[in-house]
Structure 1
Amino acid sequence: MAEDIRKLFGKNLRKIRGAQKISQEELAFRCGLHRTYVSSVERGERNISLENIQKLAEALEVSMKDLIPEE
């Protein structure tokens, strides 16, 4: 179950980032995270903290709930 939610979160993150035409490197710079960390989150390999969800949401100018999968 936890792996599924991580993959869904990563898919949402990648979709929003892609729609804004922002590279992983640019997103990482904007929120003070490493590019490889952002990449691993998008692949569903990380159990991301609330603090980092907030950083990503702020960098993408979306709400935290937009990144959280509903399923």
Structure 2
Amino acid sequence: FDGDDQLGHDDLSKIIRCLTRDELSDEEVEFIIERVIQEADLDGDEQISYAEFEHVVSRSPDFIRTFHIRI
């Protein structure tokens, strides 16, 4: 979203709000962002690069078929 080729906090917030039709509280969105960054950010820069995203997706071959958000 911000054009830096990485998924940062603001990018993830926009994605989550779009996917959930803005029905989550700010606290729920923050919780999801923290968990996503914790799981995918391999170099600790608080952003997810294409390589990091690809790594996470590659660990789950069924990602596209099974992707969903449970709150």
Normalising by structure 1, we get a TM-score of 0.32
The structure with the largest strand share of the pair is: 2
- Greater C-alpha radius of gyration: 2
More contact order relative to length (CA 8 Å, sep ≥ 6): 1
Normalising by structure 2, we get a TM-score of 0.32
